[in-house]
Amino acid sequence: MHEILPGALWLGNQFSVGFPEAMTGIVPRCALKMLKERHITHILCVIDKTPLFTNVGLKYLTIPMSDSSSFDLIGCLSRTNAFLSNAIKDGGIVLVHCQMGQSRSSAVVIAFLMFSKGWSFDVAYQHVKLCRSFINPVRFRPQLLRYEEGLSNTTKRHPVLHEE
């Protein structure tokens, strides 16, 4: 699990939220403890998983996304951006995760940084890559570039989070 925006946004994999590690099958024993230590209040899950920690005050949004270039990432971004924006605006700390924490979740986080900070794809990608070196949203790059173009043609950025 890696911090992307200090005190606001983390990026991780399914292991971060208590599911077995995708490659080894190892089950984490301290996932809830790690979430609490990082003061995570919200979880955005972009794989088809039922939340494990349901009665501990965490707020979840699950949007199952396929790790395929044909998946309509842009069609999900209004919901993911709203969830992230509202959580952060309310003082929450969000963890975004997929299975490996490399493609789907990193694409969502990059899109959110473009939306909320007004960053270009390149700046958002480099920032996330600096924080979590093994991201690989290559399947979603064309859609993220189209999304960037759409953002540059509008002023629909989040007024609370956008820094001039």
Q: What Å distances lie between residue 1 and 15, 101, 153, CA to CA?
A: 9, 8, 34
Token pair 């899950």 is found at 45
The residue type found at 146 is R
Among residues 45, 76, 98, 131, the one annotated as catalytic is 98
Residues 6+ positions from 41 with CB-CB distance below 8 Å? 57, 58, 59, 87, 92, 93, 94
**How far apart, in Å, do the first and last CA atoms of the chain sit?**
29
User: Is 30 a catalytic site residue?
Assistant: no
Alpha-carbon 96 to chain mean position: 3
Edge-to-edge strands, sheet with 59-62? 2-5, 9-12, 94-97, 42-45, 59-62
Which amino acids are annotated catalytic? 98
